Amino acid sequence: MSSPVSIKNALISVYYKDNLENIIHQLNRLGVKIYSTGGTERFIRELGVDVIAVEDLTSYPSILGGRVKTLHPKVFGGILARRGLASDEEQLAKYQIPEFDLVIVDLYPFEETVKSGASQEDIIEKIDIGGISLIRAAAKNYKDVVILASKDDYAELEGILATQNGETAIEQRRKFAKQAFNITSHYDTSIFNYFNLDEPTPVFKQSIQQSQVLRYGENPHQQGIFYGDLDAMFTKLNGKELSYNNLVDVDAAVALIDEFTEPTIAILKHTNACGVASRSFIKEAWLDALACDPVSAFGGVIIANDEINEETAAEISKLFFEVLIAPAYTDEALKYLTEKKNRIILVRNPVELPSKQFKTLLNGVIEQDKDSVIEGPAQMKPVTIRKPTEHELRDLHFANKLVKHTKSNTIVFVKDNTLLASGVGQTSRVDALKQAIVKADSFGFDLHGAVMASDAFFPFNDCVEIAADAGITAVLQPGGSIKDQDSIKMADEKGISMVMTGVRHFKH
């Protein structure tokens, strides 16, 4: 009853007719009777192939402006009937319903219509009713029916028709059914998320069709898959495939570099910046970013927001790195950068990024708005006797961008639009501060005249005292501690300035 099934009757009604012609001719060669509607029916007739209009089968015309064409028992009965079940076969005979062994139906382009900025009326009209019902019915009855719900499956069916003389195996039909249900579930998710934009119901629904199997996950014993369209995000010019860890670092790099408009280069390891500098020219930005921590930079991810030229590429090529991302490269630069085959060289394409972030947690998922806020000098409230200079305010703004994208607890030191050192991911803010001081000292940086940013408030005045003694002249923090006044008083005693932003930037 379930395998094999010979295709005798086919129902074809599609929005996209690309590459359908060969299938029509194959079905005609096999003597398959074809039923169709509207534009697809005309398309088949123009190929010189006989076709039966669905309205001739149902004795009902297409009505309501095409909203109702196939919603009829003579259509769905022919799809859902169970072959070999006497009661079903008796009813098919009684009501003169043909058995449909093949259904080729796709869906109106709902997502594409939404992305095009179309009117609400046009979007609503692209919510498919008959099509999705036909697909679900045929997929449900995959034991007896072949369902194609996408033009991406045409080539596979064409091969089956050519080599198996119109017969399909149960494994093939089940595979097509799985693909069909994937399409319908994705379609429904897209519609729900469109309706859920205003006054959203707290329901988590995501569906991503594209995927890429990674070499492994965070470690070699873990499997890894990326769900998304990397080809839309980046154009790869050189190197091996991105790994799980590469992708995590690349995501952090993209988020960080988007904070800057002037020519900037950032170097990241394990999602944290180990070198960042903004300069008038990209080569200078690279040299100063690398000087921040040339040890950690080894094997890192590098990102730039300006074209990489030959001189800059020559300098970057002196370092072993995993990934380099930029909006463009000169031809001369690529000669340097592609000398080693494993270097991953990416061009970043202009793609709108999601405004929501989510990850699995315990037995569920947590979701949040992306941290898209960054406070500049206008949002920095001076709270000390000494006010920051304009130069310090610019450096505090730079430091605030960095601290926002560094793992908590974190302290960042900046001077002249350059990262000097940071304390990263420590369990106490004092430890983060001491780590940053040791790191700055190890690379010979003079902290006198530098500024400090903290991702959260100071619970005590010890951080301010230690920072001032190290040479820091201006401090940025969100404020909000019950002991804020102690930190302010310490800053005044030390003769340094402090500003509060009122916004915390934890990153866990």
User: Tokens 């796709």 correspond to what residue?
Assistant: 106
d(CA 172, CA 183): 17
Name the active-site residue from 270, 335, 434, 489. 270
Look up 140 and say whether it is catalytic. Answer: yes
Q: Are 183 and 149 in contact (CB under 8 A)?
A: yes
Nearest to 44 by CA among 104, 109, 129: 104
Two tokens, residue 420: 């000097």
Chain centre distance of CA 453: 30
Nearest to 412 by CA among 450, 361, 356: 450
Give 12's strand partners: 36, 104
Q: Are 474 and 395 in contact (CB under 8 A)?
A: yes
Two tokens, residue 260: 């800057």
Cβ within 8 Å of residue 99, ≥6 positions away: 8, 9, 78, 81, 83, 92, 144
H/E element, 277: strand 272-278
Q: Which residues of 159-188 are buried (b: 16+ CB within 10 A; e: fewer)?
A: ebbeeeebbbeeebbeebbebbbebbebbe
d(CA 244, CA 218): 6
Work out the angle at residue 292's Cα, subtended by the Cα atoms of residues 386 and 249, and round it to the nearest 5 degrees.
Answer: 110
Instruction: Give me the long-range contacts of 445-448 (CB less than 8 A, separation at least 24).
Output: 445/413, 445/415, 445/420, 445/421, 446/471, 447/413, 447/415, 447/420, 447/471, 447/472, 448/473
Name the active-site residue from 8, 140, 391, 434. 140
d(CA 191, CA 81): 30
Residues annotated as catalytic are 140, 270
